[in-house]
Structures are given as C-alpha cells and as structure tokens.
Amino acid sequence: MSPSLDTLIIGAGTAGLAALREVRKHTDRYLIVNEGPWGTTCARVGCMPSKALIEAANAFHRRHTFEEFGLRGASALTADLPAVLQRVRALRDDLVAGALQATSGLGSAQISGRATLLGPQSVDIDGTAYATRSIIIATGSRPRVPEEWLAFGDRMLTTDTLFEQPSLGPRIAVIGMGPMGVEISQALARLGLQVAAFTTGHTLAGLGDPALNAELTALLKQDMVLHMGAEAQLREVPGGIEVASGSNRVVVDQVIAALGRVPNVEDLGLETLGVPLDRRGLPTVDPQTQQIGDLPVFLAGDANTHIPLLHEAADEGHIAGMNALATAPTRFRRRTLLSIVFADPNVAIVGPRMVDMDPHRTITGTASYATQGRARTAQRNHGRLCIYADRATGRLLGAELCAPDGEHLAHLLALAVQQQLTVHDLLGMPFYHPTLEEGLRTALRDAAHQLAHTRASDLAACAALDVPALE
C-alpha cells in the first residue's frame, strides 16, 4: 500500500474542486482522482452551455416584439442553428478551460482513474491501494435515461450530448419538465424548432404554488405543444420516433431525455463503509457536516442528491474539505434555499415551497406583472410573484415567482429570508421607480393587509397610489 495521505478526493467537479481548495490550505498530503473528463458538470454540459443557448433563443424571440416597438424588418431574421450551437460550444470550451486551471499544476497529486473504496480509510485506484486519514466523495451525477430508450442511439439526447450536435432535426420531443426540461424546450422552440414537451405530473420547473404553475403552463404553451399528466411511451415508426402520452401522439426526429440526474455511486464501494444504504445505494449524509455517520468519509455535491445546484455543491465541497482535516467536524449553517430556472419569464423558488408550509400559519402576498408599468414598456408584462410570511410575526418565510428578470428578485428575497426580515421591514426599504422590483412592493403590501399587526407611523405604512403607471 502506498504512503498514507491526509485526504483523498474522488471527483473533480464543483464539489471536488471546492474541497480541494480547502484541503490545500492545510496539507500537501492529498490526492484528487477523477474518472472521465476533467472540468465541472456546470461548465461542460450544464449551467453554462444551456444559458448560452437560452440567450441566443431569447434574442431571436425578441423579434416578435419589434413591430409593436415600431421596428420593421423582423420577418427577415433567421436562426442559423449550426452557428448557434457552434457558439455554445466555443463559449463552453473557454469556460471548461478555466475550470481545468484549478488542477493544472497539481502534478502527481492528481490522477485520472477509477476509484473504489476499500473501507473508510482506504481507496483503490486502478489496482493501487492508498491509505488515507479521510475520504471526500464528490463523484457527481449523470442524466437519467431509461435503458430501453438507449436503442434509439444518437437520436436519444441528454444535456450531456445535446450541445455536441452540429445541428438538430426540425422536430424535437423533450421528456421531463423539471428545471432543465423547461429551459431546453423553450429555448429550442424559440429557435424555430417544433417542440413537443411531455411530463407525467401537473407541475413544471419544480413550482409548488398552483397559481404560479398555471401561469407558467399557459406561457409555455405559447411556445410549444405541452402534454401533461401521462407517461411518455416511445417506439420506432417510419419517419422517426413516435412519442405517445395518453391520447396524444407525435412523431419526432430526436428526443431529449430531461428526467433528472442519478448519482455516480455504482461500484464505488460504499458497502465497504459498514453503514446502511438506501434503495439507491446511498448512505445517510449530514447536510451540515457532509459526514457519513461518524466515519472520516464525506459525501458532497450532486452525488449525495440533496440539492443538485452548483452553489450548493460548492458549499458542500467547502464543508467537506474543512471537516475532512478537522479533529472534530464543524456543523455549518446552510444558506437559504434558492433555485432559479432561466425560462422566460424566470422561475424561482426561495426558501421552502408553498406546499411545504403550514397554511394556517402562513399568509401569501401576490403581485401580477400583467399591468406593471416597467414590464409593459418592455412588452414583458407576464407572470406573477408570490411571497409567504408568518401570520403571527410577519417574518418573510419564502417566495415563488414566475416573473420578468425574476433571478434578481429571487436574490433580494433570499437575502431577506436569510436576514429574517419582516414584511414591514421590507416595506420600509427603498424601491426605485420605474423598476421591475416594484412588483415586490405590491406583493408586500398585499401581505401587510393580511397581518394582524400594522404600522401607522413610518414609511412602511405608505399606501399604494393605485395608479399602474406609478407602481
């Protein structure tokens, strides 16, 4: 067995790199091993290439507003899909190169290979055993694809393969309408493809508020055909792949599976740790320490399936990297939950979802963007904001929204929730006119009217003017 290490990191994605940054502050007796391509899921196949595609799609879609603005000639614009995808790959490659720099100078401290646990302090890498005081597992995840769908070959796409296509067929089915499915289906539809989207459920993009879900459903149906509430069945037919869902049938050239992701833990050797594993083969992980039981083993990022988002993976890698070298693990307070879906309008969830709150202790303040002044000037007056507050104290608990530039509102609301601000605290803050953020003040005033206690002596009590152009 090779000389003992202080820690061994398995996986060089976002969580693994965050852990590496912490580990290198305290020791040079470490090793990071990665199987497959180096560089993060976000940079290679996730957050960044998808946003590059979305930006192109939304830029092209804006042509539909030109006539109303008094701008002529929009009908002459075309989308060169191969050129769009080439730009996505070029930007993606540049971002991946930046991620690779984090490990470029590690020398023998980095290995490309397959790691298998031999126990809580021993790891095999391609036939060589390494002894280590601690282990950080950050093996990430991969797209979920039913095995029988693999028979469709390169016509079955996922986010891992979508951006590698030189072009796409004119008819696309997207199966799964969680965050990624919503983003990809709308972007491709706005680039001119015929998109049919399918989901077994009745909610989209992870939303819990029924009013917001109905709003988003109606907006997406303006861009694509949307089938909800029945499982999609695929079969080969002349001319393409038939996707059937309930009584609905469509024949497409390619299918994008957007069914979520599964953790990369098969054959990792988790059973050698001597702790119970669930039906997915995963142990219980403490979200405040990232520790598995009382073992010197830490499981961070997408691989633990807690919250598969980059900023959460980075936090978890940070926690794991610090605790892997500590005498006793520190219990970190986690940040307020924040999830953003980059559809148009943006979809966001701050804190717990509405369906997970006690309806008897929660009040909801709402604001529609249909008549909001700034939104109307931009022809983006769609969507709604819902904020949730504690009925007894007025403290902001969370929010869900489907609103123009909602990513910015979501950050403001996440800050407010984490700071435990009340509805009246926020109403006393400045709001500039005319901005999209004024919609938040409208929702706050709606919530304030439902609270038992009110303030009558400060600016938080200023009433609305009831003039849409001034709100």
Q: Please report which residue ranges of 230-382 form alpha helices under DSSP H.
A: 310-324, 373-377
The larger pLDDT score, comparing residue 101 to residue 270, is at: 270
For the segment 208-233, what is each residue's pLDDT rounded down to a tens digit? 999 999 999 999 999 999 999 999 99
- Six token digits for residue 459: 């600016």
Whether the bond between 434 and the residue before it is cis, its omega within 30 degrees of 0, is: yes
Buried b (16+ CB within 10 A) or exposed e, 305-334: bbbbbbebbbbbbbbbbbbbbeeebeebee
pLDDT tier, 454 (very low <50, low <70, confident <90, very high otherwise): low
Name the strand (E) or helix (H) holding 354: none
Give the separation between CA 40 and CA 15, rounded to whole angstroms: 9
Q: Which residues contact 75 (CB under 8 A, 6 or more apart)?
A: none
CB 164, CB 256: distance < 8 Å: no
Residue 348 Cα distances to 130, 351, 407, angstroms: 44, 10, 7
**pLDDT tens digits, 277-319:** 999 999 999 999 999 999 999 999 999 999 989 999 999 999 9
- Lowest mean pLDDT across 20-24, 40-44, 441-445: 40-44
- What pLDDT, on the 0 to 100 scale, is given for residue 41? 83
The mean per-residue pLDDT over the stretch 189-203 comes to 97
Sign of the Cα pseudo-torsion (282, 288, 294, 299, in order)? positive
Chain CA centroid to CA 56, Å: 19
Q: How far apart are CA 321 and CA 115, in angstroms?
A: 18
Per residue in 266-278, pLDDT (tens digit) is: 999 999 999 999 9
Mean per-residue pLDDT, 186-195: 98
Give whole-number Cα distances, 178 to 94, 174, 181, in Å: 28, 11, 5
- pLDDT band for position 81 (cuts 50, 70, 90): very high
* Cα distances (angstroms) measured from residue 409 to each of 60, 412, 424: 25, 5, 17
Residue where the block lists tokens 């024949």:
251
User: What DSSP line would sit under 216-231, residue for residue?
Assistant: HHHHHTTTSEEEESS-
- Specify which residues 317 forms β-bridges with: none
In this prediction, residue 364 has a pLDDT band, given cuts at 50, 70 and 90, of very high
pLDDT of 3 higher than 70: no
Strand positions, DSSP E, 122-168 = 122-125, 128-137, 141-143, 156-157
* Residues composing the chain: 471
Check: CB of residue 257 under 8 Å from CB of residue 144.
Answer: yes
| pLDDT at residue 456 greater than cutoff 80 | no
pLDDT at 65: 97
Report, as an integer, the average pLDDT of 328-343: 97
Beta strand pairing call for 128-137 and 122-125: antiparallel
**Per-residue confidence at 42, pLDDT binned at 50, 70, 90?**
confident
Whether 16 has a pLDDT exceeding 90, the answer reads: yes
Residue 2 has what DSSP assignment? E
Within 13 Å, how many C-alpha atoms sit on residue 264's CB side? 21
DSSP-derived secondary structure for 364-395: EEEEESSS-HHHHHTT----EEEEEEETTT-B
What distance in Å separates the CA atoms of residue 313 and residue 261, rounded to the nearest whole number? 14
Q: How confident is the model at residue 55 (pLDDT cuts 50, 70, 90)?
A: very high
Q: Kindly compute the dihedral angle of the four CA atoms of residues 284, 112, 129, 11, in this order, to the nearest 10 degrees.
A: -10
Predicted confidence at residue 105, as pLDDT, reads 86
| Of 467 and 183, the one with more pLDDT | 183
Q: Please, what is the Cα angle at 138 between 255 and 176, to 5 degrees?
A: 20
The pLDDT value recorded for residue 103 is 85
DSSP three-state, residue 37: coil
Q: Is residue 297 a contact partner of residue 275, using CB atoms and an 8 Å limit? A: no
pLDDT grade, residue 37 (50/70/90)? confident
Q: What is the mean pLDDT of the chain?
A: 94
Would strands 2-10 and 171-175 be described as parallel, antiparallel, or unpaired?
unpaired
Alpha helices per DSSP H over 332-467: 373-377, 406-418, 423-427, 438-448
Could you give the residue ranges of the DSSP H alpha helices within 101-239? 159-162, 179-190, 210-220
User: What residues contact 382, with CB distance under 8 A and at least 6 apart?
Assistant: 215, 219, 345, 369, 370, 375, 404
Q: Which residue has the higher pLDDT, 91 or 41?
A: 91
Which DSSP state fits 397? E
Q: Residue 100: which pLDDT band, with cuts at 50, 70 and 90?
A: confident
pLDDT at 21 over 90: yes
Residue 255 in this model has a pLDDT that exceeds 60: yes
